[in-house]
Amino acid sequence: MKITSKIISYPNRLNKNIVAYYDYIEQGFDKPFFIIPPAYGETKKDSLKLSYFLVKNGFHVLRYDATFHVGESDGDMLESDFEKMKEDLLSTLDFVEQEFKPHVIGIAGTSLGIRVAIKAASHDKRIRFLLGIVPIMDVRSSLRAIYHEDVIGEILAGNYKGKTIDDIMGFEVSVGFALSAIEHKYHDLESTQEDLRAVDIPIALISAENDPWINSADIKKALESVASKEKQFIVVPNTIHQINENPEAVLFVMQPGRRKSLLGKIPEQIFTHQ
């Protein structure tokens, strides 16, 4: 069956315009829904493979560009920060709930996108399932690996004097990006664990075996903090952080038995009428 991708837009709670794709096979209300927040430095187009995988497995999907980010939504990337990304996700939840009236909503995200989703899920009980691919659980550690400098540590020690951070995955952002991470407790493994203790929903995390930016042990440790007993951890062999660009990795995750476990067993318990 053919997948349709419809371009849509809606305001966030700060009245900034968000541009998104709505992917589906058959329209209608009361469907199980996934929202895909963008990873840092990525747009809605980078989520195409993940979205289509979910749609082919029976879900409707909305993938969007964050505001103050790359892509078509309002705002300059220089002003990006974690709370703005979280507010975009919550605004998208509002829109999906009002526009499509799904009977349940899950969040699927990659890299920093899933960290934002974890924060949102710790407060907003409309989120009923989390699927994380190469999830960053320790922002400080990952930024150190990417930037080759402990920006978070320098800020915490009062030693960072710059107004911008020059090259995080090829993008310049304000130092407010890191300050926001610290102020709102996104910045380290302990803050992630604290959020996950409030997450009592099914969660599945997929890690890349050779990821230079993420320690798989951090993912395991974070997952142990999840309040829910329904949790999965999958390691994809011979892959790095850009897992969605690796056809073999996609095939590994999409193997029938693994796909059934990932998107069958867990959602079977929640993607049903209450």
pLDDT given at position 167: 65
The residue with tokens 């939840």 is 93
* Residue 143 placed within a domain: no
Measure the CA dihedral 71/75/77/79, to 10°: -160
pTM assigned to the model: 0.88
When mean pLDDT is compared across 12-21, 91-100, 101-110, 157-166, the lowest value belongs to 157-166
| Contact predicate 89/117, CB 8 Å | yes
**What is the token pair recorded at 181?**
């991470």
**Is residue 262 predicted with pLDDT exceeding 70?**
no
Give the residue among 93, 152, 99, 100 at the shortest CA–CA distance from 123. 93
* 46-97 pLDDT per residue, tens: 999 889 988 988 899 999 999 999 999 999 998 999 999 999 999 999 999 9
pLDDT given at position 265: 43
* 216-241 pLDDT per residue, tens: 899 999 999 998 888 888 888 777 77
CA distance 259 to 173: 37
**Residues β-bridged to residue 232:** 204
* 237-261 pLDDT per residue, tens: 777 776 655 544 544 554 545 445 5
The whole-chain average pLDDT of the chain stands at 85
Total number of domains in the chain: 1
DSSP 52-65: HHHHHTT-EEEEEP
**What is the token pair recorded at 187?**
């910045």
SS3 state of residue 236? strand
**Is residue 166 predicted with pLDDT exceeding 70?**
no
Residue 84 belongs to a domain with what CATH number?
Answer: 3.40.50.1820
SS3 state of residue 210? coil
* Residue 132 placed within a domain: yes
**Residues β-bridged to residue 130:** 107, 203
* Residue 229 placed within a domain: yes
CA distance 171 to 49: 24
Cα–Cα distances (Å) from 14 to 18, 19, 35, in that order, read 11, 14, 20
* Residue 166 placed within a domain: no
**DSSP letter (8 states) at residue 136:** -
Higher pLDDT, 7 or 26: 7
Cα–Cα distances (Å) from 161 to 149, 165, 174, 175, 251, in that order, read 13, 10, 12, 9, 46
* Residue 92 placed within a domain: yes
| Residue range of the domain that includes 201 | 4-138+188-270
Rg (CA), the chain: 18
pLDDT given at position 147: 77
pLDDT given at position 28: 80
pLDDT band at 263 (very low <50, low <70, confident <90, very high): low
**Is residue 268 predicted with pLDDT exceeding 50?**
no
* Residue 55 placed within a domain: yes
Sheet holding 231-236, edge to edge: 4-11, 17-24, 60-64, 32-36, 104-110, 127-133, 203-208, 231-236
* Residue 77 placed within a domain: yes
* Residue 146 placed within a domain: no
When mean pLDDT is compared across 8-12, 88-92, 153-157, 185-189, the lowest value belongs to 153-157
Q: Are strands 127-133 and 203-208 parallel, antiparallel or unpaired?
A: parallel
Percent pLDDT > 90 in the chain is 52
